[in-house]
Chain A
Amino acid sequence: MDSSLNWLQNTSVAIHIRDSLLLFPLLESTHVIGLAIVVGTVVIIDLRLLGLATTHRAFSRLGADTLPWTLGGFAVAAVTGALMFTTNATVYFHNTWFRAKVLMLALAALNAIVFELTARRTLGDWDLRRSTPPMARTVAAISLVIWVGVIVAGRMIGFTATRASVNQTTPQEPNFEDLLGLPK
């Protein structure tokens, strides 16, 4: 596994992102936009299932309005996330928060599958109703918890994984020794 991770972080794409001052921050920002669209639209659906918002509107219509954006936002987050992963693959792979995030994304997918196999099958009975089946409410509550967890884990990766070092000649951070007049 480590050899393929090593190969990955030495691909020209990974090196190119590492060597650029701008690319990693741009990938991160675009990742946040993607995830904001995912979570923002998932929350709309979950609140409908919980009977807390948009209760007067057919679930099927609401789903048709939001799902393409959820999937599109996810695609953006997945591509930018994968590109960031390549820059320091060995470190991210062994990072506990990264693993927790991947696990929670898998649980989110499983949760969606459970919804498709249960409440979604009886949609005709509750599509126009405020009150949804208990299974739909359970899935929605779990979904909200998982997505907040994904955000927390994602943010923690940035605090616990060492960022790939950037090859550059000028110091990027202020030099505190100079600033405080400390002897060299």
Chain B
Amino acid sequence: MRDFALWLATTSPSVFIQEHNTWAIPAIQSVHIVGIAMVTGSVLMITLRILGLTWTDQTLRQTTNRFGPWLNGSLWLLLVTGVLMVIGEPVRELVTFSFWAKMTLVGIGTIVAVIFQRSLRRHERHWDEQFLHRGAIKLMAVGTLLVWMAIIFLGRLIAYDHVWGSWSPAVNQ
């Protein structure tokens, strides 16, 4: 991975970002944070609806119709800005424990988001009449929200990978 990161750092898109890093890196990171905020707001509202705490005048389908497209759009925005950050600072991102732990959780969070939206489209009545009353579903909703919170933590910890001690490849070189 270190070799790949070092090679990536020599490619022209990477060199471009590195040469303009004083504005390019904070600009990309800022757009990334806007995306994080949109995902957080959307996931929070859908979770609260599943828990029956807010949006109770709307069905789950109505709530998800409102937030689903914004959630998906923001996830694409995060993917694009995230890839740009990796291209711009390959070693700093790829040679860390935090990045790969984060990517694992991003994979889980995205799969849950896709399965949930599909299942809701196919079994709308089941969701509103049965699933929403199940403790396991509520627990999963809270768990998914916590996964996204953990993703935010790990994202920030990429800059501080030494906190993982010997787990961090940046420390163990």
Contact = CB atoms under 8 A, between A and B. Distances in A.
Interface string A149-184: 001100110010000000000001010000100000
Interface string A56-88: 010001000110010000000000000000000
Interface string A127-169: 0000000000000000000001001100110010000000000
A25 interface: yes
Given A32-B36, A174-B173, A155 B26 contact: yes
B147 interface: no
B107 to A, nearest CB: 20
Contacts of A33: 40, 149, 152-153
A174 B44 contact: no
Contacts of B25: 159
B149 A39 contact: no
Interface in B143-168: 149, 152-153, 155-157, 159-160, 162-163
B139 interface: no
Interface in B80-111: none
Nearest to B40: A36
Interface string B34-64: 1011111110110010000011011000000
Given A37-B44, A65-B48, A152 B30 contact: yes
Contacts of B44: 37, 40-41, 69
A90 B36 CA distance: 30
B41 A40 contact: yes
B70 A155 contact: no
Interface in A1-56: 21-22, 24-26, 28-29, 32-33, 35-41, 43-44, 53-54
B156 A28 contact: yes
Contacts of A44: 41, 45
A36 B37 contact: yes
Contact of A65 (B30, B36, B45): B45
Contact of A174 (B48, B149, B170): B170
Q: Give the secondary structure class of B's interface.
A: helix
Contacts of A174: 170, 173
A28 B159 CA distance: 11
B29 interface: yes
Contact of B30 (A29, A57, A155, A172): A155
Contacts of A159: 22, 25-26
Nearest to B29: A155
A10 to B, nearest CB: 24
A55 B152 CA distance: 30
Q: Which of A28, A32, A40, A41 has the most CB of B within 10 A?
A: A40
Interface string B11-44: 0000000000010011101100110111111101
B163 A25 contact: yes
A35 B54 contact: no
Given A26-B153, A28-B156, A65-B54, 5 more contacts: A36-B152, A57-B57, A65-B48, A152-B30, A159-B22
28 contacts: A24-B160, A25-B156, A25-B157, A25-B160, A28-B156, A29-B152, A32-B33, A32-B155, A33-B40, A33-B153, A35-B33, A36-B37, A39-B34, A40-B38, A40-B42, A40-B44, A43-B37, A44-B41, A54-B66, A65-B45, A69-B44, A151-B30, A152-B26, A155-B29, A156-B26, A172-B162, A174-B173, A179-B173
